[in-house]
Each structure stands twice: as C-alpha cells, then as structure tokens.
C-alpha cells in the first residue's frame, strides 16, 4: 500500500449523517485522487487534486466534497446528499511529471456502510 494511509478501515454511519474519510501520503506526490468501487465493478473517480488548494470534480462528484489544504492530506466528505454512499473508497496519489499522470499509488481503502 506504499506510503498512503486511509482511516478508518471500516466505517458505519446512519443515513443522513455526513462522514469524512481520511487520506494521508508521505510520498511527496503532488496529485491525489478519490475513487469509489462498488462490488464487482471498476473504480470511478470522485475528485482529484493536482496541487495544494486546488481540486477538480471527477465523474461522480455529486454528494461528495474534498479539501486540499496540505500536500500530504486529501480528506473526502460523504454528505447526506449522496444517495447511495455504501461502497469501498480508495485514495491514491501520483507524482506529477510533465503534466501527465503516471502510475498511481493506492491506500488500503475504507469500506463505508450506511445503515
């Protein structure tokens, strides 16, 4: 899982509550990403950030929010507006070379279950 940590590993929340997932990296990578994975599916991009204090919506940003106040941290908040939040959430980072995405390094994931 490289130098990326995600916490907690398992998270249970009641419907209607906001919840924040943590992602920290010590790889000195500029770019960071949040993905959602549903059973038997590939990864879908929620948000990404190329640099501190900047982030962009991915393909399924509705109901989620992020911040990037520090290079090593990229927390994801799952809001009550997210209609189907139960999923496996993966954070990743990547060195940013010449403006292109190279290989991504993933954290171990957080499994969120909304009851």
Choice between 18 and 53, CB closer to another protein: 53
CA distance 47 to 67: 10
The β-bridge partners of 42 are none
Beta strand 54-57 with 19-25 is: unpaired
User: Among the candidate windows 14-22, 64-72, 76-84, 86-94, which touches another protein by CB under 8 A?
Assistant: 86-94
CA distance 97 to 63: 31
Task: Give yes or no for residue 109 binding another protein (CB under 8 A).
Answer: yes
Q: Which of residues 47-76 bind another protein (CB under 8 A)?
A: 48, 50, 58
Choice between 17 and 41, CB closer to another protein: 41
**Cβ 13 to another protein, closest distance in Å?**
19
Task: List C-alpha distances in Å: 35 to 3, 12, 30, 91.
Answer: 17, 18, 17, 6
Binding-site ranges for another protein (CB under 8 A):
1, 4, 6, 35, 40-45, 48, 50, 58, 88, 90, 92, 99-109, 111
């Amino acid at each position: 899982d490289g130098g990326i940590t995600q916490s907690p590993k398992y998270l249970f929340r009641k419907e209607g509550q906001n919840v924040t997932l943590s992602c920290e990296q010590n790889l000195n990578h500029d770019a960071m990403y949040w993905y959602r994975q549903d059973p038997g599916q590939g990864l879908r991009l929620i948000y990404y950030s190329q640099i501190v204090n900047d982030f962009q919506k991915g393909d399924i940003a509705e109901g989620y929010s992020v911040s990037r106040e520090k290079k090593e941290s990229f927390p994801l908040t799952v809001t009550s507006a997210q209609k189907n939040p139960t999923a496996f959430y993966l954070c990743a980072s990547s060195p940013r070379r010449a403006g292109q995405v190279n290989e991504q390094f993933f954290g171990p994931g957080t499994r969120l279950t909304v009851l």
